[in-house]
Structure 1
Amino acid sequence: MSSNNNNNDARDRKIKQDTRAWAALVGTNYTTALRQTESPLVQGFLGEQVSARHLINTLNHHPLIGADGGDFVLGEAGYYADTEWSFNGRSDFVELALLTDFLRMFTPIAPRETPAVSSYFLKHTAEKFLAPHCSYVTNGRLIWAAAALDLPMVEQKGGLNLMIGVSEREHDYVKRMVTPGSTKPHGHQHRPAGYTHLQTALEQCVAGEPDLGRWERPEPSTEVFPFHEWFIQQAGRDDAVGVLAHDHRAGIKDSDHRIARTPNELLEILQEVPASSKTHESAESAIVEWARVSLPSQRGDMNIRTASIRRSKDDTPGWGAGPGTIELHEFLCPCGDGKVIEEHDNTPGFREHDHRIICDKCREEWDFVPGLSVRGWRLEPKPYRAAS
């Protein structure tokens, strides 16, 4: 017998055992339970397919929510709830499997961290994320799925909820993404690694399309961005740069904007927010200071190109050699109060290309990077070039 046949036989035995165990727990017949254990929605989009027998064993033997003297500790409403389980027999297993994948989406907390996300809030987020597959999720089932994954959990005093050990920032990101009326995140640094895969896999499953294949959690990024590291360390300073760094750090934490990995990205973020001219001045001061203290190997991070604000293209009759055009492109200057002008005279016989800074303050502090074309211009702080 081939290895494929052996694997199929083992899988069939597992499904049959799971089906019988689940049918006995929820009080339904074998055929109805089999429809659930063979549903495409329980295949395990972010990990191995959840086992019905493992779920049942969790209710009986988990150190926190397992049975106490033969009586279930967990009920529909939560931890030590007065309400018993209310199984419909038709979709309970599918819903628990989906809840398991929903929780797998998040990064578990580190061993020394304390769980900080309430099962009550998680269950509401799960309802919105998993709709229409789960129209209603009980607090108890969310806790059950978390226990089956062996996520860290701690009690809340005098309540039915447990605190679950998943990333608080990732949960906040997902909650804002799926809750109608919420302000959507503009930065995606706290988007769970499995978020897009799970969303897409559920959509394709419902549409009857091939699954995306096995998902594996990526290794945490170890990439370091020197400007970002330096900038957020300025958050404790009692000056304009310190205030800007403090606000930037808070915005990253709350997913209000992305991380400024380079000075140019900081200016881009201030355009996206948007920000006042004083804030632009603070950013310029931070970039110039960064240029003074950074290493020569980080020179590429110094170059910036500011945001475009207006462009025009006018026809000109020319001077005997034929008509042409004059292009004018206007950009913000680094401090935000003036402009950077890029001009192209495309008249035959008079072809000229030029750029200039129309801001007294920025002319003193910035130069165009040498060696670049007029159309490809970038700026660098003057102190940096002098220091190098």
Structure 2
Amino acid sequence: MSSPLAQGLLGERVSARQLIAVLDDHDLIGLRDGTPVLGEGGYLAESPWSFNGKTDFIELALITDVLRMLMPASDATAPEVSSYSLKHTAEWFLRPHCSYVSNGRLIWAAAALGLRLAAPDEAGSNLLVGVSERGHDYVRRMVSPGGSRPQADHYRPAGFTHLQTALAKATAGESATARWVQPTPVDQTAPFHDWLIRQVDRDDIISDLASDYAAGIRLSHHRIAHTPDELLAIFHEISHSPEAYDSVVSAIAEWMRTVPSAAPVRTERTGGDAHGHEGWGAGAGTIERVEYRCPCGDGEIIEEHDNVPGFREHDVRLDCDRCRVEWRFVDGRDVRNWGLEPVVGRVTV
């Protein structure tokens, strides 16, 4: 019980008294007519507990930390993550500190932590545990051998990095990290993302895009697009069909018509350079070229700045035949603050 690993890495240490009380009094897994209903193998399993008297409390404390990291699911959401799946996730996350996590110990730790438990419709030794399904999927994919790693972190649990760091330090014999403080949730508004998600039920190319986008968010294949700029960047980062670009431009065009105050599109910078110029008698200066990806990705947006005294010129142009037809620069903006908007009339059914 004095081990640094048993002191609670993401919260207060679970007490032995609390663990024992759960096996006696819990509504679902507590004693039933004086008979235990939880064993090493899980709920209503006949396998007896296998205690070694040395590492049992440490293992239960660590399993509790993993479950605490996953955070409880919303009260409006019924428990849906299988204890059997969770036990494997805990094993992978906690190696080498736990070489094996039993189904029964996972359920025991969840009950001690106060997580909601439910028996599935089908009979068996597994229970459903009320942790975040999306958070669990993220962690499982991050730690499972040979798993498909998530490409975005919007479902990463808040304590994930701290717990990994604390365990790594313990493995290396270093002192424990400072006690973790649960960050205050920040409600980030994403009106473009919210609008795009709402287009799923339409019957046009924008609804197809919205469905694919929503699936990518759900599976952590890509990040959330807070703005049209980010949607274009995501489009260039993932595999897509030749027709997908048309739906992206159509969605951005409709968004800008729906929200006239929406900021124009800026694409990511891809390169550029600057060099000195001796000038033409009025003093030396620089000539600067800045390159950005064009919206379709096959050309460039080029800023050029002639900063030579007496010949100061600034220009920006779309060096892409397709984008010159489908996009235009927003009027009234200086060269360095250029912005694009789609040509009106892009939405098709």
Asked if TM exceeds 0.5, the reply is: yes
Q: Match for 1:261 among 221, 226, 251?
A: 226
Distance 1:172 1:59, change over 3 A: same
2:328 alignment partner AA: W
Q: Match for 1:100 among 32, 39, 64?
A: 64
Distance 1:367 1:333 in 2: 12
Q: Say if 1:100 and 1:149, in contact at 8 Å, map to a contact too.
A: yes
Q: How many angstroms does 1:46 deviate by?
A: 1.9
Q: Say if 2:314 and 2:335, in contact at 8 Å, map to a contact too.
A: no
Q: How many angstroms does 1:272 deviate by?
A: 2.0
Structure 2 equivalent of residue 294 of structure 1: 259
Distance 1:351 1:277, change over 3 A: farther
Which is greater in Rg? Answer: 1
Q: Deviations over 1:107-145 (max 9, x none)?
A: 312223221111111000001111111111111100100
User: Normalising by structure 2, what TM-score?
Assistant: 0.87
Q: Say if 1:281 and 1:334, in contact at 8 Å, map to a contact too.
A: no
Q: Structure 1, unaligned stretches of length 5 or more?
A: 1-36
Structure 2 equivalent of residue 33 of structure 1: none
Structure 1 equivalent of residue 3 of structure 2: 39
Distance 1:87 1:369, change over 3 A: farther
Distance 1:72 1:372 in 2: 75
Q: Match for 1:372 among 331, 334, 337?
A: 334
Q: How many angstroms does 1:336 deviate by?
A: 3.7
Question: Which structure shows the higher helix fraction?
Answer: 1
Are 1:237 and 2:202 an aligned pair?
Answer: yes
Distance 1:177 1:369 in 2: 46
Q: Residue 172 of structure 1: SS of its match in structure 2?
A: helix
Q: Say if 1:312 and 1:327, in contact at 8 Å, map to a contact too.
A: yes
Distance 2:192 2:311 in 1: 42
Are 1:124 and 2:85 an aligned pair?
Answer: no
Q: Structure 2, unaligned stretches of length 5 or more?
A: none
Structure 2 equivalent of residue 28 of structure 1: none
2:84 alignment partner AA: Y
Are 1:176 and 2:141 an aligned pair?
Answer: yes
Q: Say if 1:367 and 1:382, in contact at 8 Å, map to a contact too.
A: no
Distance 1:369 1:84 in 2: 76
Q: Say if 1:369 and 1:380, in contact at 8 Å, map to a contact too.
A: no
Alignment of 1:55-94 (within 5 A): 55-94=19-58
Q: Residue 131 of structure 2: SS of its match in structure 1?
A: coil
1:130 alignment partner AA: L
Q: Match for 2:184 among 187, 193, 218?
A: 218
User: Normalising by structure 1, what TM-score?
Assistant: 0.79
Q: Residue 234 of structure 1: SS of its match in structure 2?
A: coil
Q: How many angstroms does 1:245 deviate by?
A: 1.1
**Percent of aligned pairs with the same residue?**
52
Structure 1 equivalent of residue 304 of structure 2: 343
C-alpha RMSD over aligned residues: 2.8
Q: Say if 2:87 and 2:103, in contact at 8 Å, map to a contact too.
A: yes
Q: Match for 1:136 among 100, 112, 115?
A: 100
